[in-house]
Structure 1
C-alpha cells in the first residue's frame, strides 16, 4: 500500500498544484467568474481517468490467460515509460510551471472561458490517466486490487489537503525536494513493475526463461508473510525472480536513477533552487 500511496500523493499533488496555480491566477486577475469553467474541466478529467481505470480493470476479462498476460505486460511497459517521462519532465519544468500555466490562462480566457476548462482538463487529465495506468500495473504486479486502490485514494486525499493548505497560505513546503525524492522512489517502484512486465511476457510465452531463476528466497521470505507482502507492495519484490526479470530491473533502475538525479542537479544549477515552491505559495 505504501508504494500506491506514494503514487497517489505524487501524481495527485502535481494535479492539485496545477489547480491551485490556476485558481490563484484567476483570483489575482479578477476572473473569478471563470472558476466554474475551471472546475468543469477538472471534473471532466477526473471522470475520464476513473473510466479509464475501470476499462483497464474489467476490459481484459474473457480473454485467454496468455492474451491477458500479454496485454498486462504491454500496458505495464507503457506505464513505466509514462512514469519515467513524467519524472524527467517535472525535473525540467517544475521551476517554470507557474509561468507556463499563466500564459495558457491568458490565451484561453477569452470568450465564454471554455478554453480554460480545456486547459484544466488536459493538465489534470494527463496526471489522472498516468495514475490510473500505473496503479493498474502496480496492482497487477502485487496480485492485489483493493489494497492498492485504498492506498492511492489515501495519497490523493493527502494531496488535495496539502493543496488546500498551500492555497490558504497555511503550509509552506519545499516542493523541489519533494518532487526530487518522490521521483527517485517512483523510479525504483517502476523498476519492479518493469520486472513484472517481463514475467507477464514469459507467462504469455512471448519471452523465454520462465523457469530459469536468478534466485529463489521463498523459504527465507515467504510471499504470504507480512514482510514478503510488505516488500511486494512497496518494491514489487518477487522472492522467485527469473534471470530476465532481474536483468530488466538492473538495466533500468541504476541507469535511469543516475540520469534522473543528474538532471535534477543540472536543473538546480541553472535556476534558484526554491523557485517552484516560492512561486506556488506566492501565487496563492
Structure 2
C-alpha cells in the first residue's frame, strides 16, 4: 500500500498541478468561459488513462492463453513502465521550473484557435501523465500480487494529491515543490528498481531470459511475506524470498546508477573564477 500511495501522490500531484496551472491562467486572463472546456479535456484524458489500464489487465488475463505468454507480456510491460517512469522523473526535475510558462504559452495559442484547441491542450497535458501513471501502477499491482491494498494505496495517494493541489491553488498551504519532487523521485526510483526485478523474473519464467534456477538469495526459511516486515519489504521493494542472480544484478545496477545520476547528475559546478595570474596571462595573450 505504501509504495502505491507514493505512486498516486507523486503522479497525481504532477497531473493536478498541470490542471491548476491551466485553470489559473484562464482565470488570470478573464476566460472563465473556457473552464468547462478544460474540464472536458481533463475528463477525457482521465478516462483514456483508466481505459488503458483496463486494456492492460484484460489483455494479460483474457487474450493471452498460455502462462508463458502472460509472463512475457507482464515482464515486457513492467520493463517499459520502468523506462517511462525513469524518464518522467528526470524530465520533471529538469522542466518543472519552466512548466508554468510553457503551459501558459500553449494555452494562450489554443485560446486564439478555439474551444477544441483548448480542450486538446488540456487533454494532452494530462494524458501524458495519466498513461504513464496507468502503466506504472499496473506493473506495481502485478508485482504486488492478488490483493486490494495497492488499489487502496493508489486511491489514497490520488486523493491526497488532489486535496494538496487544491490547497496550493488556494494558497492555503506552501510546499517546496523542488524538494518534494526530489525526494518522491528518489522513492519512485526505489519502487521502479523493484518493478524491474519483477520484470526480469517474469521474463525468466517466460523463457526470454535464462537463469531462473540460479538463485543469488534464498530467504524462504527466514522471511515470510505474511509477517509484518515481510509485507513491508514486499510493498516497498517488491521483495521476494527467492531472488535470482539476474534479478539481483538488474536491481542493483538500476538502483545504483539511476540514483547516483539523479542526485549528482543535476548539480552544476560552480563557475571558475579566474585568478589574478590567469587574468594577466589572458591580457598578455590578447
- 1:143-222 matches, within 5 Å, as 143-222=145-224
Larger radius of gyration: 2
Q: Which deviates further from its counterpart, 170-179 or 256-265?
A: 256-265
Match of 2:117 in 1: 115
- 1:42-53 matches, within 5 Å, as 42-53=42-53
Q: Is the 8 A contact 1:12 1:155 kept in 2?
A: yes
- 1:77-92 matches, within 5 Å, as 77-92=79-94
1:111 Cα deviation after fit: 4.1
1:217 Cα deviation after fit: 1.3
1:113 Cα deviation after fit: 2.2
Q: Distance in 1 between matches of 2:150 and 2:79?
A: 19
CA RMSD of aligned residues (A): 1.5
- 1:127-146 matches, within 5 Å, as 127-146=129-148
Higher normalized contact order (CA 8 Å, seq sep 6+, divided by chain length): 1
Could you give the per-residue CA deviations for residues 55-76 of structure 1, whole angstroms, max 9, x where no partner exists?
Answer: 1112222421000000000000
Q: Distance in 1 between matches of 2:146 and 2:162?
A: 25
Q: Is the 8 A contact 1:180 1:264 kept in 2?
A: no
Distance 1:145 1:134, change over 3 A: farther
* TM-score (structure 2 length as normaliser): 0.91
* Counterpart secondary structure, 1:119: helix
Check if 1:237 corresponds to 2:272: no
Could you give the per-residue CA deviations for residues 111-139 of structure 1, whole angstroms, max 9, x where no partner exists?
Answer: 43221111111111111111111111111
Q: Distance in 2 between matches of 1:266 and 1:184?
A: 19
Q: Distance in 1 between matches of 2:118 and 2:268?
A: 33
Q: Distance in 2 between matches of 1:221 and 1:120?
A: 47
Q: Is the 8 A contact 1:88 1:263 kept in 2?
A: no
Match of 1:75 in 2: 77
Q: Distance in 1 between matches of 2:36 and 2:265?
A: 38
Gaps of 5+ in 1: 271-284
Match of 1:258 in 2: 260
Check if 1:12 corresponds to 2:7: no
Match of 1:30 in 2: 30
Q: Distance in 2 between matches of 1:107 and 1:218?
A: 59
